[in-house]
Amino acid sequence: MIIDSIEVYRVAMPLKYPFRVAFGDFSVIESVLVKVTSGDQYGWGETTPFGHPSYCGEWAGGVFAIIKDFLTPHLLEKSIDSGEQLQNEMGIIKDNYFAKAGIDLAWWDLYCKMRNKPLWQVLGGDKEYVEVGADFGVMKTIDELIKVIDIAVKEGYKRIKLKYRPGWELEMIQAVRKEFPDTVFHIDCNAAYTLDDLKMFKKIDAFDLAMIEQPLAHNDLVDHSILQQSLKTPICLDESITSIDMARKAIDLKACGWINIKPGRVGGITNSIKIHNYCRDHEIPCWVGSMLESSLGASFLIALATLPNFKYPSDIFPSKRFYHEDLSQPEIVLSDPSQIKIPSGNGVGTEPNLYRLEKMKIDWC
Ligand SMILES: [Mg+2]
């Protein structure tokens, strides 16, 4: 298909309440939406590295500039017939995975719409519903955390993820495990620690967690390998896995027992499938993570999560959890306590509400 035009929108989506993780508090989520047109058909993508370069080296303003100034002029009027070809074309730019993902996702939506097929079917998904988990950030007190976990457990969530950071660590997890002896928990450290914290991590083995997500630096594999050899609890890599090559090296180094896949972090759906397949062939289970996208970005995560080697509930949230009004439609809703139904319709099945896009856009071209 010939790429006739590419539109890019940088948006700020107000959150219901600040989201606190190891690297700061957020009151809005900055996201970048991309519309790719070919003839009279179009596809939408969304990519969300947050508003400043703290999750990784990218940020929404930079992603917007990379797409506008480099990827768009390079791709316009080219005929792109596969995700692989698209990735090869975008390979002229080093790194910048979130920027490439914006184009890649829009291309997949357009590709599927042109074939009158839903994305999840084209990807080879085998589920009509995907399982999702509950996720809790750092709170004022441990009692407050225990109350919200109790609600999530009673609602039927099958796993709970807890943010873990200096000052909110062993005492917290000890109290939570005592209160909920049989619940599946894991912790997400967002790269807040180093090997100097080895003793602390060894103590975590006693709490029978499903995994420890990204304990060490965002760009490290070697120290994770050393840490993994010292622990019973499997490590899950998130920030460190930016490409199929990093996934291969992580598995070769025995640096993890799980891999979290976010299409934005790895350059799009094309690379997500490659990583999924490589992990499947090497018996490393995966699960799908999120960056608090609108329902457009989340719908790509849902389609991806239908693939068979995603073996742990995804971080995909109903729109109402974080947003008074979702930028995109239809909203994400739970169809069961811990399940989300795959959006119907061809392509990804979701697109921005143009009235809300007008209100939330802060930069566009
Ligand atoms: Mg994470």
Q: Which tens digits make up the pLDDT trace of 194-232? A: 999 999 999 999 999 999 999 999 999 999 999 999 999
C-beta of residue 48 within 8 angstroms of C-beta of residue 15: no
Average pLDDT of the chain to the nearest whole number: 96
> Is 80 exceeded by the pLDDT of residue 20?
no
> Is 80 exceeded by the pLDDT of residue 62?
yes
Rounded to whole angstroms, the Cα distance separating 193 from 208 reads 20
**For the domain with range 5-116+354-364, which CATH number is right: 3.90.550.10, 3.30.390.10, 1.10.357.10, 3.40.50.1970?**
3.30.390.10
Give the model's pLDDT for residue 226.
98
C-beta of residue 296 within 8 angstroms of C-beta of residue 326: no
The full set of domain ranges for the chain reads 5-116+354-364, 121-348
pTM over 0.85: yes
Paired sense of beta strands 212-213 and 185-188, if any: parallel
Distance 80 CA to ligand 1 centre (A): 32
C-beta of residue 323 within 8 angstroms of C-beta of residue 295: no
Give the model's pLDDT for residue 23.
58
Distance 68 CA to ligand 1 centre (A): 28
Distance 361 CA to ligand 1 centre (A): 27
Q: What percent of the chain has pLDDT over 70?
A: 99
Distance 23 CA to ligand 1 centre (A): 12
Beta bridge partners of 259: 237, 286
Phi, psi (rounded to 5 degrees) for 230: -95, -5
Distance 163 CA to ligand 1 centre (A): 9
Distance 146 CA to ligand 1 centre (A): 21
> Is 90 exceeded by the pLDDT of residue 332?
yes
Residue type (1 letter), 91 = G
DSSP 125: -
- Is 113 among the residues known to form the active site? no
Which ranges of 67-165 does DSSP label H, i.e. alpha helix?
72-75, 83-90, 97-114, 119-123, 142-155
> Is 90 exceeded by the pLDDT of residue 337?
no
Cis peptide before 337 (omega within 30 of 0): no
Task: Give 171's Cβ-side CA count (13 Å radius).
Answer: 7
Give the model's pLDDT for residue 54.
86
> Which entry of 16, 163, 232, 341 is annotated as an active-site residue?
163
- Is 203 among the residues known to form the active site? no
Beta bridge partners of 34: 8, 45
Q: Which residue's entry shows tokens 């439609």?
A: 329
Q: Which residue's entry shows tokens 């970005």?
A: 297
Assigned token pair, 297? 């970005």
Rounded to whole angstroms, the Cα distance separating 272 from 269 reads 5
Torsion sign across C-alpha atoms 342, 245, 34, 31: positive
Three-class SS state of 98: helix
Distance 214 CA to ligand 1 centre (A): 6
Phi, psi (rounded to 5 degrees) for 85: -65, -40
Distance 212 CA to ligand 1 centre (A): 10
Distance 335 CA to ligand 1 centre (A): 25
121-348: CATH homologous superfamily? Enolase-like C-terminal domain (3.20.20.120)
Paired sense of beta strands 134-136 and 129-131, if any: unpaired
> Which entry of 262, 274, 311, 341 is annotated as an active-site residue?
262
Assigned token pair, 348? 């990804």
Q: Which tens digits make up the pLDDT trace of 124-182? A: 998 889 999 999 988 899 999 999 999 999 989 999 999 999 999 999 999 999 999 99
Cβ-based neighbours of 344, under 8 Å, separated by 6 or more: 118
Paired sense of beta strands 134-136 and 160-163, if any: parallel
